[in-house]
Structure 1
Amino acid sequence: MCGIVGLFLKEPKLEPELGALLSEMLDIMCDRGPDSAGFAVYGAGTPGFVKLTLRGPAGTDFAALGGQIGHLVTPRDTHAVLSVPAAEEAAVRAALARIAPEVRVVGAGNRMELYKEVGLPADVAKRFKLETMSGTHAIGHTRMATESAVTTDGAHPFSTGPDQCLVHNGSLSNHAGVRRLLAREGLSVNTENDSEVAAAYLTYRMRGGDTLGEALEHSLDDLDGFYTFVVGTETGFGVLRDPIACKPAVMAETDSYVAFASEYRALAGLPGIETARVFEPEPAKVYFWDRAA
């Protein structure tokens, strides 16, 4: 049992409130997943630049690390954001691996920042000051570990492509076979978590030319098990439940936003919820909203 939340804003005036709204939703989902939590926020980006979200051991001196590689690093607890010219991304990653091999890149993209840690979801959100973040959309996850250990590496979201991430509630029965397929295609999966396999599968399909919506459609044929996916891209937000749809899910849509949660109580505090169209997403149906459309 895990908890998923997501919020996609249609109305720009709500963007400064994105983090505060998502933080409350995560807090309410604490009892669905008390061992770890994470979230991805799509905020402002700079054309031609890539944000690398870094994670290091407690006490990592990110400011000194930035000085060593010649770029400003903005710390947030055990994580930090490093913004670099896109043309220098490969060189910066190589420098990080050489200078600070204990520091991991957990997400990359023009707009996405990704944070996750072990602990109560409400505490994780406070550590990273989620309530202060702004943006157009965000997704989050509260985890109750079943298939792998309680570690930061096992926490969601998982990101395997630029500005792309996924949170998942459920279990995949054929993830080992999909993992082998992805390895043959040059996509490595670094944890035991089947959710990272799902994220990498979507990246694989999109590298082959699929849109996110098309990749989600293909997952209905290629991924077995029971699952609910909520995914983010640079400008979009998608939801998919498996054909059986045994995992709880509820959505709310107004002229100002689209919201997802594992339970309605996580939506109850959203502005205008009393007049929202509240519905359960249908099994095996791809839902997708895009700010670029």
Structure 2
Amino acid sequence: MCGIVGLFLKDASLKPQLGELLSDMLVTMTDRGPDSAGIAVYSDTDGKSGKITLQSDRPDEDFSALEKTLADASGGAASMVRNDTHAVITAPAEALKKIEAHLASAHPGLRVMSRGEAMEIYKEVGLPSDVVDRFGIRSMQGSHGIGHTRMATESAVTTMGAHPFSTATDECLVHNGSLSNHNSLRRKLVREGLRFETENDTEVGAAYMTYRMQNGANLGEALEDCLSALDGFYTFVVGTKRGFGVLRDPIACKPAVLAETDRYVAFGSEYRALVNLPGILDARVWEPEPATVYFWEH
């Protein structure tokens, strides 16, 4: 099962509504994935600072300890905002490497959800409506975002097993389907120096695209390469700093719907995820073709 949603805003006046619109889309997909949920939100950046989004199963203890050491680790250049089990550290780019090294050595229990200038990822176990509410997603503003509701059929229900998965700066992936060759591909990518945090096949898909882009491919080429490198059935929705893309495997057995107006592009596993979007009755609505890359960018 699993449900995917995505919303790319062309009209800047809709940015204050991104969280509300994306949340409604995600909650509508609850019966496709009631186990856990996650959202990646992309906001405007100043080009001077970056963000690290962290998660902890013991947020009061772990984030309190981090607050005591963060100033020294960053030279006083970082700030941290806590949000339930997550926290976002913001700092100049040159300080982020020091902070990451500090996290690995002094706070190994903290999990990095995402890194980037624009992207923040929030995900947890629970119903999509509960996940949306606990992080205040509805009030978030931004230019685009993607979300996922998970029905765990092949692995445990855990925070780290929830989507989105991020293996590169400002890039993340959500996935509906199943990859059959992810273990062999994982071993290859480990030999190439990539690291994995979970056994989830979606993380392998994200890491494969990161690997291809590290070796000169652009995002569109990396998605095209998935068609020959990945076995199985899948619908991918990918978020980047400037846009988002969609790819279905050559069989395309997983449902997918795209809608476009002059104000936005929207994706849903089912059309009902899109019905409350403004102007949806005037949108061009279609089923994305198999083995075809779709991408929109600011």
TM-score category (smaller protein): over 0.9
Q: Which residue, out of 139, 142, 145, partners 1:135?
A: 142
Match of 2:239 among 224, 232, 241: 232
Corresponding residue number in structure 1 for 2:67: 66
What letter is aligned with 1:83? Answer: T
Report the Cα offset of residue 87 of structure 1.
Answer: 1.4
How far, CA to CA, are the matches of 2:265 and 2:149 in structure 1?
Answer: 20
Q: In 2, distance between residues paired with 1:92 and 1:151? A: 26
CA distance in 2, matches of 1:278, 1:64: 49
Which residue in the other structure is 1:166 paired with? 173
- Superposition deviation, residue 44 in structure 1: 2.4
Task: Tell me the alpha carbon deviations over residues 85-110 of structure 1, each in whole angstroms, 9 at most, x when there is no partner.
Answer: 21122210111122222111110000
* SS of 2:16 mapped into structure 1: helix
Correspondence for 1:155: 162
Residue matched to 2:51: 51
Q: Which residue identity does 1:66 align to in structure 2?
A: E
Q: CA deviation at 1:177?
A: 1.2
**How far apart are 1:63 and its partner, in Å?**
5.2
Q: How far did 1:269 drift?
A: 0.3
Q: Please list every run of 5 or more consecutive structure 2 residues that lacks an aligned counterpart in the other structure.
A: 72-77
Instruction: Identify unmatched segments of 5+ residues in structure 1.
Output: none
Aligned to 1:192: 199
Q: 80, 87, 96: which is aligned to 1:80?
A: 87
Question: TM-score by structure 2 length?
Answer: 0.96
In 2: Cα distance, 1:166 partner to 1:229 partner: 7
Tell me whether 1:178 sits opposite 2:205 in the alignment.
no
Segment drifting more, 102-111 vs 154-163: 102-111
- 2:274 alignment partner, one of 233, 254, 267: 267
Q: Could you give the per-residue CA deviations for residues 179-237 of structure 1, whole angstroms, max 9, x where no partner exists?
A: 01110110012211000000000100111111111100011010110000000000011
Q: Cα distance, 1:48 vs. partner?
A: 2.4
Structure 2 residue 68 is the aligned partner of structure 1 residue 96: no
Aligned residues of 1:37 and 1:116 also touching (Cα < 8 A) = yes
Identity of aligned residues (%): 63
TM-score of the pair, normalised by structure 1: 0.97
Determine the C-alpha separation between the residues in 1 that align with 2:111 and 2:138. 24
3-state SS of paired residue (2:31): helix
- 1:244 equivalent to 2:245? Answer no
Partner of 1:18: 18
Q: What corresponds to 2:221 in structure 1?
A: 214
Runs of at least 4 residues off by over 4 Å: none
- Aligned amino acid, residue 26 of structure 1: L
More displaced 10-residue stretch of structure 1: 96-105 or 267-276: 96-105
With 248-257 and 95-104 compared, the bigger mean Cα shift is at: 95-104
- Deviation sequence 1:25-62 (CA, Å, 0-9, x none): 11101110000000100012232211000101234353
User: Deviations along 1:94-148, whole A, 9 cap, x unmatched?
Assistant: 1112222211111000000001000001100111100011111000000000121
Counterparts of 1:270 and 1:58, CA distance in 2: 37
Q: Residue 146 of structure 1: SS of its match in structure 2?
A: coil
2: distance between equivalents of 1:46 and 1:12?
16
Amino acid at match of 2:66: L
Is 2:37 aligned against 1:37?
Answer: yes
1:4 aligned to 2:4?
yes
Aligned length: 291
Aligned to 1:60, the other structure's residue is in SS state helix
Contact 1:69 1:96 (8 Å CA) reproduced: no
Match of 1:276 in 2: 283
Question: Alpha carbons of 1:258 and 1:161: their partners in 2 closer, same or farther (altered >3 Å)?
Answer: same
Alignment partners' CA distance in 2, 1:81 and 1:119 = 21
Instruction: Name which of structure 1's ranges 180-189 and 52-61 shifts more when overlaid on structure 2.
Output: 52-61
SS for the counterpart of 2:60 is coil
1:64 CA drift (Å): 4.9
Q: Is the 8 A contact 2:59 2:86 kept in 1?
A: no
CA RMSD of aligned residues (A): 1.0
- Using the alignment, how far apart are the partners of 1:189 and 1:64 within structure 2? 26
Match for 2:53: what amino acid?
T
| Distance in 1 separating the partners of 2:37 and 2:59 | 20
CA distance in 2, matches of 1:233, 1:85: 20
